[in-house]
Structure 1
Amino acid sequence: MRKTSKWLLSLMLVLLLALAACGGGDDNKSDKKSDNKASENKASEDGTFNIEDFSMTTSNDGKPIENGNLTYGVVSDTVFEGTFNFNFYQAAPDYEVIAWFDEPLFDNDENYAYTQTGAATWEVDDSGKVYTLKIKDGVNWQDGEPVTAEDWAFAYEVIGNKAYKGIRYGSDFENVVGMKEYHEGKADSISGIKVMDEKTLQITFQEGGPSLITGGIWPYALPKHIFGDMDIAKMAESDVVRKNPIGIGPYKVESIVPGESVTLVKNENYWRGEPALEKVTVKVVSPSTVVQELKTGGVDMVDSFPTDQFVDNANMSNVEFLGQVENSYTYIGFKLGKWDAKKGEVVVDPNAKMADVNLRRAMWYAVDNDAVGKKFYNGLRWNATTLIIPFFPEYHNPDIETPTFDPEKAKQILDEAGYKDVDGDGLRENPKGEELVINFASMSGGDTAEPLAQYYIQSWKNVGLNVQLVDGRLIEFNTFYDRLEADDPAYDIYQGAWGTGTDVNPSGIFAGNSSANYPRWTNEENEKLLKDGASMKAMDPAYRKEVYDQWQQLMVDNIPLFPTLYRAVIVPVNDRVVNFTLDPASDLRRYQIGVTAEKPAVEK
C-alpha cells in the first residue's frame, strides 16, 4: 500500500488490518476435492468476468498431512525491502512475510470490527472513550517471553516518538489523550495510556467512535525486552527487524535470503494450537513468471494473481482460483502542495501547476476507465467513481455523479478555463499562454503497466494536454514511492494505488496531518467531515453514512485525486491446499492451512 506507504499502502496507513486468510479442517472429511472449482468460472459473452462468481474458500475437503511444506509466492517486480515488523514496514511484500509469523492481538468479524476471540479482548466504558484491553494467558513471543501490556504500550511510545521514522503516526495515534504532547516532546509519557497490570492496558481517547474498533486501536505489540534499549531512530534497521524478526504468530522465521525469500518453521507453542504445516517458504515471484511457477508447482499459491493474465489462464488444471472484491483502488493523483515534517501537516500550494480544479476535472473526463477495466483486466477491475469503495457497501454511494468518459466535455472545460492551443501545435498552453507540460509518474509492474500508462498519456493528448512520463520511463516500485513521499518536484501527477485497510474511515490517507496524504491537499470542510465520520455520533450508521456521502461529494468537487479502477483480488491455490479462505466471515485461521499431498499438483 506500499500496498500500503508503498503501493496499496494504506493497507498500512489505515493500519492495514486485512484479515489473515486461514482455517480449520475436519479430521473426518475425506481427502477428496469437490467439483466446484472456482477456476471453472466462465466469462460472459463479451469475454469479461464477474468477481461475484468466484468462491472465497478452497473446495479441497481433505485432512492435512503431517510434516507438510507450502511455498507462498508474493507477486512483485521488486525484491522484499526486508522490514519485517508491523510497526515499521511500509511495502506490501514485507506484509506478506510478516503475516506468517506475527499477527494482530485482535481478531475481526465479517464487518472487520474487533472481536473477543483473538489474543486480546476489549471493553469500553459508557463514554466510549476509555478502552480496557486484556491480553490472554498463553500468548507469548516466539522466544518464550509472554506478551505484556508493557509491550503494547511500548508500541504506542515508539510510534508516537518524534524520532520514529515509520509511516504509522497520524490521526489515530493523535486521538490518544496526551499523545500529541508526547510527540512534540512536551511530555515524557503518554497520559492516556496506563498499564494496569501485566496483561491489562487502558487507553483513553479524546474522541470515541466506530473507527476505534475497526483499526483505531493499534493492535500490534512490540517486545520491550528486545527493543527497549534501542535508539528509536535505528529500530527499523536493527537485526531483530531485518535478520531475526520475532512475532506471536503460527510460524517463526528460520532463515532469510535478503530480498528474495524467507523460510519459516512451525511455532509449536503458538497460542491457538499446533500449526498444520511443518515449513512455509515465502518468496518473491515476478509477474512474468508467476504462471509458470503455478503450473509447475514452484509455488502452491500467491498473494494475488495479475488480473491482466487471468483470462489466458482461467482454466489452469492444477489450481483453484478464489476471488473477492479487494479493499483497494487505483487512482490518478495530483501534486498540490508539500509535507511540512516539522509541523506534521500538509501545506497546500495555491500556485501548484495542477492547482486549477478545472484542469483536474478535464483530465478525469478524458479517460475511459470502463474500457480500461474490460480491455486490460477482463472485468476484474472496473470503473471507479467515489473514494469510498464498494468493499464498504454500507457507505459507498454509487449514486454520486462523477466525471465519466467524455472527451468533448473535457475539451469544453479546458477551453472555458483558458487552456488553449496558442501556437497551433495541437497542444494547449496554460491560461497565461505559457507552455504546459504535465509530468506523469507511473510504476513499472506487470504486462499492463506500460500500455496502461501510454493509454492515459494518449487520452490526455487527445484533449490537447501534453503529458510526459517522468524520466521518460516507468519507475521501479520502491523508487516511485520514495520520490512521491519526498515530494519530488519532478512529479506533477502520478498513478498510484491504495489499500484502504478494513476501516472505512479515510483519515489515514486524506487528513491534513497524515504524511500519507500524497496529493498534499486538504481544506476546512475535509477536516470537519473526517472528524465527524469518526466521532461518537458516527456510532449511528445512518449519521455516518450521511457524513461520508458528503465527503465523497466533496472529493468529487475538489479532485485532489480521482479513482480510476475498483479491483478484484484473484488468488490461485494449488489443488493440494486445504483450509484456505478469503472470506472474513469464516472461522478459518492461517495456522490451519495445510496440504493433503507431499508434492504440489502440476499442470496436466
Structure 2
Amino acid sequence: MKLSKVLGSVGVVSAAALALVACGKSGQNNNSNAKEAKKFPTATPKKATKQGGTVTVALETDTPFTGIFSDELSTSAYDSSVAAPGEESLFDTDDQYKINDKGAATMKLDRKAKTVTITVKKGVKWSDGKQVNAKDLEYPYEILANKKTQAQRYDSTLEDIEGMKEYHEGKAKTISGIEMPDGENGRTIVIHFKQMKPSMYFSGNGCFWESAAPYHYLKDVPFNKLQSCDQIRKKPLYFGPFKLDKLVRGQSVTWVPNKYYWRGKPKLNKVVIQVVSPNSASQAIKSHKFDIASVINSQWQQVKNTKNVNWVAQVPLAYSYLGFKVGKFDAKAGKNVMNKDSKVANKSLRQAIAYAMNVDAVNKRYTQGLSFHIKTLIPEGFGAYHDSSVKGYDYNLKKANQLLDKAGYKKKGKWRVQPNGKPLVLHFATMSGSPNAEAIAQNYLQQWHKIGLNVKLTGGRLMEFNSFYDKVQNDSKDIDFFQAGWQLASEPSQGSMYGETSPMNYERFATPENNKLLEEMNSQKSFDTKYRVKVFHEWQQYMNDQAFVVPLSNSYSINAVNSKLTGYSTKPSQNNNGHQLWYQVGYAK
C-alpha cells in the first residue's frame, strides 16, 4: 500500500520539503527556470558500472528524522528516505505504475473469486538469511489492524478484506480473509475481498499491503511496544539490497550490502544518508560534500553552474495544501466526526481564506519559479484523472471580502466577528524547515489581516516538523487551520487521505457526498476507465467547492548527482516503493 512518499503508504512531508523550500534572492527569470527544469533528464547517463565505492546522500531537514524503520508504522517521508537503501516493496511496476512480475513477489487477481494471490519468490531473504515467507506477508495486516500499534495507516479501504474489521475491533484473533495455503512457512497468501477494485492492478492502491514484515524477528514484541522497540528503531531487517550498519539517531544512517539480496550483489560498498540543514544545502552541493543532494528550488541560481554533477529532475506526485480542522478523530468509533461548531465550519470563511492567499507571488519570489500554483488535489501526473477545468482559488481579495460580508462576518473595528457577533480569532499552524518559511508565513498572515480576519500563528511561532504533526494528528485545540504537504501514492484513489475512517484525514471532514464519491472511485462500474475518470472529476469539483482542503503548490524536484555515478533514475519502472532501486546505482568504470 502506498500513499505519499512514505510510499508504502501515506507519507507526510513538510511544506518546506515541498513548495516552500525557499531562500536566497527573489527569483529572476522564473519562466526560464521552469523551462530549464523541463529539459532535465529523469536518469543519469547509462554507463558500465564498477564494483565498490561509497555514496553519500543529503537529507535536507532542520529537524532530526524519527527513525521508525517499519513501513507499517512510519508516516514521515524523511523516515522513508532514510530507509530506502534497505526497504524494498514486494512489487515492481511499469512506468504507468502497473504491477508486474519483476519484483520480489508476484500478484494474481481473480475477479470472480474476489481474491488476490501474492507469492514471494524463492531466494528473497531477510538480511539475516531467512527466506521471506507467507507469515511475513500476512503479519503487516496484523500490525496495521491491531489497535495497540496505533498504526496511522489503517483505514476502511483495508476493511474490504474479509475479517479485517473483526480483527481490528478485537472480535477475532486472526484475520479470516488471509489464507496461507502452504502454511506459514510457504511463500503464498490468498487474500479474500468483499469486493474487487479497478485500482488493484496498480501499485499504491491501498487495498492490499505492498511490504513484508519479518515475523520471526518481531513476533515476541508486544504490539504496543513495536513502534519503540530496538528491532524497529535500531536494528531493522529488510530484504532489500542493503542492511543497516550504523545509526546515529535522527542524524545519519550507514547501509552496507545485504549478502542475501535476491537480485545479486549491489554495486556499492556503502550508502551513507546524512541530515543537512536546508540553509547549508546549496553550499553542500557546490562543494561536492554529497554525491546525491536535492536542490532547494530557491537556491537554484546559486547551484546551477556547479561542475561535475548531473541534474536529474521530475515533477513528483506531491503538493502542499491548506487544511481546515472541522472535527475530531473518534478513536473509539474509528472514524472522523465533524463538529458543526468548529470555527472554520462555514464554507464561505474557508473559501475567503483561500482567495486571500497570494500563492503565485510567493512562488515567484521565493522558489525561483520552480514551484507552481495548483488548483486541484489530483495532480497532472495522474493523466486523465486530473480535471484541468477545476477553477481553484486564485488571488482575489475582493471576492474574499464579498464572501465574508455575505456570510455575516461583519467588521467591528479592525477585525471581523462571527455571524453571532462573538469575536473571531483563528489559529494557523505551519512548519519551520526552510530559510524563508517565516517570511512566507508572515506574508499569509498579512493577507488574511487585509480581509479583516484576526489570524495568529499557533503558539506564536513556526513549528518543528515532529511537534507540528503531533498536534495535527491529535486534533490540538489551538489549530483551526494548517499548512502541510503530501507525497502521494502512485494510484490516485483518495480514501487513505480523505476517507471517513482514515486517521490521516487530518481535516476530519466526513460527508455522505464525499464518502459516496470515494467509494465510487473503486466500484465495479469503475472497472470502466471512462466512468472512473468521470467520478474523479466530480470529486475534484466537489472538493474545490467545499474547500476543506485547498491545494497550494507543487514543485520541480531536482537532484544534483555526482557525474561519476550511473544507474540513478526517477522513472517508476526503475524505482521501488517510490524510491531509487539502490542495487543499480554505482560508479562508472
TM bracket (short chain):
over 0.9
Alpha-carbon distance change, 517 to 532 in structure 1, aligned in 2, over 3 angstroms: same
Which residue pairs with 1:355 in the alignment?
Answer: 345
- Select which of 136, 146, 159 maps to 1:174: 159
* Residue pair 1:12, 1:90 contacting (<8 A) in 2 also: no
Which residue pairs with 1:288 in the alignment?
Answer: 279
- Three-state SS of the structure 2 residue aligned to 1:49 is helix
* Residue pair 2:153, 2:502 contacting (<8 A) in 1 also: no
Which residue pairs with 1:23 in the alignment?
Answer: none
Q: CA deviation at 1:12?
A: 5.7
Q: Give 1:305-344 correspondences, 5 Å limit.
A: 305-344=295-334
Which residue pairs with 2:24 in the alignment?
Answer: none
Letter in 1 for 2:54: N
Q: Distance in 1 between matches of 2:276 and 2:571?
A: 24
Q: CA deviation at 1:403?
A: 2.5
* Residue pair 1:10, 1:498 contacting (<8 A) in 2 also: no
Q: CA deviation at 1:234?
A: 0.5
Letter in 1 for 2:268: L
Q: CA deviation at 1:592?
A: 1.0
Q: Give 1:48-63 correspondences, 5 Å limit.
A: 48-50=33-35, 51-59=37-45, 61-63=46-48
Alpha-carbon distance change, 517 to 454 in structure 1, aligned in 2, over 3 angstroms: same
Alpha-carbon distance change, 173 to 540 in structure 1, aligned in 2, over 3 angstroms: same
Alpha-carbon distance change, 46 to 548 in structure 1, aligned in 2, over 3 angstroms: closer
Letter in 1 for 2:260: N
Which residue pairs with 2:490 in the alignment?
Answer: 502
Letter in 2 for 1:593: V
- Select which of 215, 220, 224 maps to 1:229: 220
- Three-state SS of the structure 1 residue aligned to 2:269 is strand
* Residue pair 1:335, 1:519 contacting (<8 A) in 2 also: yes
* Residue pair 2:72, 2:153 contacting (<8 A) in 1 also: yes
Q: Distance in 1 between matches of 2:113 and 2:307?
A: 52
* Residue pair 2:352, 2:399 contacting (<8 A) in 1 also: yes
Which residue pairs with 2:17 in the alignment?
Answer: none
- Three-state SS of the structure 1 residue aligned to 2:278 is coil
Matched, 1:403 2:388: no
Q: Distance in 1 between matches of 2:196 and 2:29?
A: 46
Q: Distance in 2 between matches of 1:132 and 1:46?
A: 49
Letter in 1 for 2:38: E
Which residue pairs with 1:90 in the alignment?
Answer: 75
Q: Distance in 2 between matches of 1:45 and 1:552?
A: 29
Spell out, residue by residue over 1:269-291, the C-alpha distance to the aligned partner (whole angstroms, 9 max, x if none): 21011100011111111101122
Matched, 1:193 2:185: no
Which residue pairs with 2:585 in the alignment?
Answer: 593
Q: Distance in 2 between matches of 1:120 and 1:12?
A: 15
Letter in 2 for 1:531: E
Q: Give 1:113-192 correspondences, 5 Å limit.
A: 113-127=98-112, 129-192=114-177
Letter in 1 for 2:403: I
Q: Distance in 2 between matches of 1:534 and 1:476?
A: 37
Alpha-carbon distance change, 277 to 523 in structure 1, aligned in 2, over 3 angstroms: same
* Residue pair 1:47, 1:378 contacting (<8 A) in 2 also: no
Spell out, residue by residue over 1:409-445, the C-alpha distance to the aligned partner (whole angstroms, 9 max, x if none): 11111111111212x22x2122122221111111001
Q: Distance in 1 between matches of 2:190 and 2:349?
A: 49
Count of residues in correspondence between the two structures: 563
Spell out, residue by residue over 1:296-342, the C-alpha distance to the aligned partner (whole angstroms, 9 max, x if none): 2221112x322122233222223222111111111111110000011
Q: CA deviation at 1:541?
A: 1.3
Which residue pairs with 1:553 in the alignment?
Answer: 541
What is the root-mean-square deviation in Å for CA atoms of aligned residues?
A: 1.9
Which residue pairs with 1:527 in the alignment?
Answer: 515
Question: More deviation in 578-587 or 405-414?
Answer: 578-587
Alpha-carbon distance change, 464 to 43 in structure 1, aligned in 2, over 3 angstroms: closer
Which residue pairs with 1:35 in the alignment?
Answer: none
Matched, 1:456 2:444: yes
Q: Give 1:99-114 correspondences, 5 Å limit.
A: 99-114=84-99
Alpha-carbon distance change, 10 to 275 in structure 1, aligned in 2, over 3 angstroms: closer
Q: Distance in 1 between matches of 2:256 and 2:31?
A: 46
TM-score (norm 2): 0.92
- Three-state SS of the structure 2 residue aligned to 1:580 is coil
Q: Distance in 1 between matches of 2:146 and 2:305?
A: 51
Gaps of 5+ in 1: 17-41, 598-604
Which residue pairs with 2:53 in the alignment?
Answer: 68
* Residue pair 2:52, 2:586 contacting (<8 A) in 1 also: no
- Select which of 362, 374, 386 maps to 2:364: 374
Which residue pairs with 2:268 in the alignment?
Answer: 277
Q: CA deviation at 1:45?
A: 7.1
- Three-state SS of the structure 2 residue aligned to 1:504 is coil
* Residue pair 1:369, 1:384 contacting (<8 A) in 2 also: no
* Residue pair 2:355, 2:396 contacting (<8 A) in 1 also: yes
- Three-state SS of the structure 1 residue aligned to 2:561 is strand
Alpha-carbon distance change, 543 to 418 in structure 1, aligned in 2, over 3 angstroms: same
Gaps of 5+ in 2: 13-26
Which residue pairs with 1:562 in the alignment?
Answer: 550
Which residue pairs with 1:242 in the alignment?
Answer: 233
Which residue pairs with 1:446 in the alignment?
Answer: 434
Q: CA deviation at 1:267?
A: 1.7
* Residue pair 2:126, 2:260 contacting (<8 A) in 1 also: no
Q: Distance in 2 between matches of 1:384 and 1:66?
A: 43
Q: CA deviation at 1:253?
A: 0.8
* Residue pair 1:13, 1:516 contacting (<8 A) in 2 also: no
- Select which of 546, 567, 576 maps to 2:564: 576
Which residue pairs with 1:260 in the alignment?
Answer: 251
Matched, 1:430 2:418: yes
Alpha-carbon distance change, 174 to 45 in structure 1, aligned in 2, over 3 angstroms: closer
TM-score (norm 1): 0.90
Q: CA deviation at 1:171?
A: 2.3
Which residue pairs with 2:210 in the alignment?
Answer: 219
Q: Give 1:6-17 correspondences, 5 Å limit.
A: 11=7, 13-14=9-10
* Residue pair 2:110, 2:116 contacting (<8 A) in 1 also: yes
List, as ranges, runs of 4+ consecutive aligned residues in structure 1 with deviation greater than 6 Å: none
- Three-state SS of the structure 2 residue aligned to 1:373 is helix
Identity across matched positions, percent: 38
* Residue pair 1:124, 1:131 contacting (<8 A) in 2 also: yes
Q: CA deviation at 1:15?
A: 7.2
Question: More deviation in 349-358 or 199-208?
Answer: 199-208
Q: Distance in 2 between matches of 1:128 and 1:387?
A: 34
* Residue pair 1:69, 1:277 contacting (<8 A) in 2 also: yes
Letter in 1 for 2:155: G
Q: CA deviation at 1:64?
A: 2.8
Question: More deviation in 214-223 or 146-155?
Answer: 214-223
Q: Distance in 1 between matches of 2:291 and 2:31?
A: 31
Question: More deviation in 515-524 or 202-211?
Answer: 202-211
Which residue pairs with 1:30 in the alignment?
Answer: none
Q: Distance in 2 between matches of 1:9 and 1:411?
A: 38
Alpha-carbon distance change, 10 to 89 in structure 1, aligned in 2, over 3 angstroms: closer
Spell out, residue by residue over 1:481-519, the C-alpha distance to the aligned partner (whole angstroms, 9 max, x if none): 001101000001111111112110011110010000111
Letter in 2 for 1:245: P
Alpha-carbon distance change, 15 to 403 in structure 1, aligned in 2, over 3 angstroms: closer
